[in-house]
Chains A and B, each alone.
Chain A
Amino acid sequence: MSYIDYILKVNDLSLDFGSESSKTLHDISFDLRKGEILGLIGNSGCGKTMTSLSVSGLLPKEARITSGNIIFDGKDLLKLSEKEMRNIRGKEIAMIFQEPYTALDPLKTVYKNLEEVLTEHEDLTKDERRQRITGMLRRVGFEDADIILGRYPHELSGGQRQRVLIAGACLLKPKLMIADEPTSSLDTVTSMSILELIKSLCAEFRMSVLFISHDLSVVGGICDRVIVMQSGKIVDSGNTFDLLYNPINPYTAGLLSNSRLDPKILDLKFNKPSFSSECILRVTGLSAGYESSRGFRKVRNEVIHDITFKILNGECIGLIGSSGCGKTTLTRAVSGLIKPTSGTISDMKGRLGVVFQDPVTCLNPSHTVKWHLEEPLKANHIKLAPSELIKVTRSSLEAVGLEEKILGRKPSQLSGGQRQRVAIAMCLMLSPSLIIADEPLSSLDTTSGARILDLLSKINRERNTSILLISHNLRVIRAATSYVLVMDNGRIVEDGPTLNVLSDPKSECTKKLLLAEEKLHQNPDRNQFMTE
């Protein structure tokens, strides 16, 4: 290719929040060719979102661009007025976000949500609009587009909502689509289908995509080129093939091994179970669900059926399944939050700790870390002498790798990874025999995720605490667990030693998960790059 047609060129872009010390972007320069998918990778807080917001002109008020320019399709975006910018945004630059639920108006149907895009930018009759919207919905994979049109956002699943957003973004055939972590809140199977959709739409409309993600290994299947950012600077860039096969930059290599969760590189060592170990939890024929009232009638909605498994002392056991399969309901039933309709939970030895998925809501925003650590003791009426209390607190903090000065902080002053650590430390205060970790990594970036997994392995090894690790990410399960349960539709469809289950899957569900996993983390095709 001798002539390269650029759609977007960012030159020496710097950005701060009013002072030199708050500088978030340092002389960022990159370009995006027509029809290309460019991956923008980095951990949370590295400035990737600020970069994308500068391009779309949606920066927060306090942000100040101190130098550089952004040339989009021959125009300098930073010199345009707000009105001109608004015309470009939506029509020529479209955006999709990480959390599709908050990006759709909950009071409007899918049709109304999408129609707004068209009435804002184009002059079409009602019939034309409807036709265009139905066509686009079919294109993004809704076969029953007419039914979807009348639905409200809360009636759709996470993947469906993301599809609707993508349909909305593509309605005006934009030249550039900015996708900010579009798959981070979705499970593996759904993520895969969304990525494939973006890729095919990109080819069909000759659209360029700026794809933002924290997971370097996910971009292999979709991006042509990748740039890696670290604290506001571009530290590495190149075509996906080179970056994934032969990372030269140590930072990139670190990101890659974190996202691949290779137990050897990360030095993850979990307890190997011995069959003579004592059983600390036995669940037999457990069914449970939720009650909802319709008028005066109570409706029971059973979510999990006939679950049987046991956990041995010191074992790390995995539970996999796609979203909505009943993993969370099982956690709640085991931890006693909902009453089982039938079946028993027996042989419960020692205390139980639970770590939740969302680091934002897992801690109480009104209280300090110290309060959080002392609360489990107070709740269980354990009174310790002040010196004893300090000792226990210190050992819990040490176990999760936090410093003591953090005790006086409130959750809003902590990062996601730190909050997740505090949540684990809270569990450790009671020295539990079992920790249930419900997707503890899925809302963290790969580096913090790998650290949390390392931490769990340490707790498992040193304190001989059993861990029930729930995840949809097969890599996590492969790296950490020795035994695995596969759940589908509220039932356990397969169980056995992790290596056996993952190398020789018996059930449809496991096969589907494995296939999606493989495609999601596939390495780019060498030939694709040879032709250039």
Chain B
Amino acid sequence: MRKKISPYFIVGSIFLLVIVLSCILGLLGAGPDPEKTNSASKLMAPSMSHLMGTDNLGRDVFARVLSASKYTLLISFAGVTVALVIGTVAGMLAGYFGGIWDRIIMLLGNSVMCFPGILLALVAVAVSGPSLFNVIWALGLVFAPTFARVYRTEVIKIKGRDYILHAKILKVNPIRIMAVHIFPNAFAQIIPAIVIGLANMTLSESAMSYLGLGVQPPKASYGKILSDAQSYITAAPWLVIFPSLMLVIYILGLYFISEGIRGDK
């Protein structure tokens, strides 16, 4: 029987494709220089020469949005990777060994989860100074416990199965059991968590940039453009509409994909 692909998955992929394309265009340097100011053309409405208008410094919003896609994608993917690596290792150890290891690891994880994630990331970045790299690891750390939890539950479920018992009887060493016997089976369950993680990471990053602790000017992310645009929201609504639209497309795309993956099962 042919597997039917969920329509959610298709729509989500199209949305994501839009963002990835804009990121590629940004990398190729399409359109005018996103950082070039021009005092002669401030706050111009969308037109043929400036597809999404210009901002208060006369920079082309279309070019800025393309360049912002690049940073938003970079931060969300790098952040999720950091969170995934830490979460996988911690969750595997906690779930597999149980007992005191489980308690210590989950206590650490739960302590992080007690605080609002964004607050913790803000503190971390405020202490270590705002930079692209710091935003990535701070967000990664804050999101790691979520992945650790999903992994722990999966590992506990899987480790009671006969094939793991068999591996133990064969005296396979624990690291190998975790890496080769358990990991591939647990990973299928974590894919929806990764997709949701990407969406949440992007939202947190936007919030941090909005508060001035994310990407530093003259670079831009969606959140940064929005925060710059807030004073001109009535005079030049295109400054807000276009980057928000991109953000919505990206997040919706990710949610649709996660919905689509879940629907397949």
Contact = CB atoms under 8 A, between A and B. Distances in A.
Interface of A: 17-18, 22, 62, 293, 332, 335-337, 352, 354, 356-358, 361-367, 375-376, 378-380, 423, 426, 430
Interface string B153-170: 000000001110111111
B210 to A, nearest CB: 42
A199 to B, nearest CB: 35
A379 B166 contact: no
B163 A379 contact: no
10 contacts: A352-B169, A356-B162, A356-B165, A356-B166, A361-B161, A361-B162, A366-B184, A375-B167, A378-B172, A426-B166
Which 4 pairs of residues, A with B, have the shortest CB-CB distance?
Answer: A366-B184, A379-B172, A356-B162, A361-B161
Contacts of B165: 332, 337, 354, 356
A436 to B, nearest CB: 9
Contacts of B176: 379
A61 B253 CA distance: 28
A34 to B, nearest CB: 39
A364 B1 contact: no
Contact of A336 (B1, B99, B169, B172): B169
- Secondary structure at chain B's binding surface: helix, strand, loop or mixed? helix
Contact of B171 (A332, A356, A380): A380
Contacts of A430: 170
Contacts of B172: 375, 378-379
Given A358-B162, A362-B163, A376 B184 contact: no
B181 interface: yes
A293 B167 CA distance: 26
Nearest to A19: B1
B185 interface: yes
B166 A366 contact: no
A380 B170 contact: yes
Interface string B181-220: 1001100000000000000000000000000000000000
Contacts of A337: 165, 168-169
A365 B169 contact: no
A62 B172 CA distance: 42
Instruction: Say which size band chain B's interface belongs to.
Output: 10 to 19
B168 A366 contact: no
B162 A362 contact: yes
Nearest to A363: B163
Given A22-B1, A366-B185, A379-B176, 20 more contacts: A293-B99, A336-B169, A337-B165, A337-B168, A354-B166, A354-B169, A356-B162, A356-B166, A357-B162, A362-B162, A363-B163, A364-B181, A366-B184, A375-B167, A376-B170, A379-B170, A379-B172, A380-B171, A423-B166, A430-B170
Given A62-B1, A366-B184, A379 B162 contact: no
A354 B165 CA distance: 9
Most chain B CB atoms below 10 A, which of A332, A356, A366, A423: A366
A165 to B, nearest CB: 25
Contact of A17 (B1, B161, B166, B168): B1
A75 B196 CA distance: 50
Contacts of B162: 356-358, 361-362
A337 B166 CA distance: 10
Interface string B1-15: 100000000000000
A130 B166 CA distance: 47
A367 B184 CA distance: 9
Nearest to B176: A379
Contact of B185 (A17, A293, A336, A365): A365
A18 B1 CA distance: 9
A378 B179 CA distance: 14
B185 A364 contact: yes
A356 B184 CA distance: 22
A379 B167 contact: yes
A362 B185 contact: no
Contacts of B173: 379
Contacts of B171: 379-380
Contacts of B170: 375-376, 379-380, 430
Contacts of A17: 1
Contacts of B168: 337
A22 B1 CA distance: 9
Contacts of B181: 364
Nearest to A298: B99
A154 B169 CA distance: 28
A337 B160 CA distance: 12
Contacts of A18: 1
Contacts of B1: 17-18, 22, 62
B163 A335 contact: no
Most chain A CB atoms below 10 A, which of B161, B163, B181: B163
Nearest to B171: A379
A22 B185 CA distance: 30
B41 to A, nearest CB: 58
A361 B163 contact: yes
B43 to A, nearest CB: 56
Nearest to A356: B162
Most chain B CB atoms below 10 A, which of A22, A62, A367: A367
B67 to A, nearest CB: 40
A478 B87 CA distance: 52
Contacts of B169: 335-337, 352, 354
A375 B173 CA distance: 12
A182 to B, nearest CB: 24
A368 to B, nearest CB: 12
Contacts of A375: 167, 170, 172
B195 to A, nearest CB: 20
Contacts of A363: 163
A425 B163 CA distance: 14
